[in-house]
Amino acid sequence: MIRRICLASALVLVSATAALAQGRPPSADANNDGFVTKAEHLAASAQRFKRMDANNDGVIDKAEQDRVAAFMGGRNPLAGVDANKDGKVTREEFNAAAARRFAGADANKDGKLDVAEQATLRPPRR
Ligand SMILES: [Ca+2]
Ligand SMILES: [Ca+2]
Ligand SMILES: [Ca+2]
């Protein structure tokens, strides 16, 4: 039992360290007013796309997705973004997914995300 608890806290430590090593993603709240507007959200998503598109051809291909997945600990966060399932994530698909995520997170539909709504944007942890 004690062993199990130790293992659990070790795991927490490892994932905390991994998060630190990756560097916290810069907040999408560009003007620091505590709210993320749709424009801010899409701008931040565009930045993310740029970082993932290593060869800058406007498409996140399989190799680039594998890199992202390795970075994320084996989980490909783009699997659901590839709308037509051709193995490549285009800018359009990425933006559409970002817009969907924004709409899904904006619980009170005021067109901006407060802190609580921003928290729901983060991918679910397993
Ligand atoms: Ca803002
Ligand atoms: Ca690419
Ligand atoms: Ca809102």
Q: Which domains does the chain have, with CATH numbers?
A: 26-119 (1.10.238.10)
Write down the pLDDT at residue 45.
Answer: 95
Write down the pLDDT at residue 21.
Answer: 46
Write down the pLDDT at residue 65.
Answer: 97
Distance between Cα 44 and ligand 1 center (Å): 11
Distance between Cα 67 and ligand 3 center (Å): 33
Please report, in tens digits, the pLDDT of each residue of the chain (126 residues total): 555 555 555 555 445 444 444 445 568 999 999 999 999 999 999 999 999 999 999 999 999 999 999 998 999 989 899 999 999 999 999 999 999 999 999 999 999 999 999 999 876 555
Task: Give the chain's length.
Answer: 126
| C-alpha–C-alpha distance, residues 26 and 19, integer Å | 13
Distance between Cα 102 and ligand 3 center (Å): 9
Distance between Cα 108 and ligand 3 center (Å): 5
Which sign, positive or negative, has the C-alpha torsion 113, 114, 118, 120? negative
76 contacts: CB under 8 Å, gap ≥ 6: 65, 66, 68, 69
Q: Is the pTM of this model over 0.75?
A: no
Write down the pLDDT at residue 17.
Answer: 45
Number of H helices, E strands in the chain: 5, 4
Assess contact for 56 and 46: CB atoms under 8 A: no
Query: Which ligand is in closest contact with the Cα of 112?
Result: 3
Query: Which ligand is in closest contact with the Cα of 61?
Result: 2
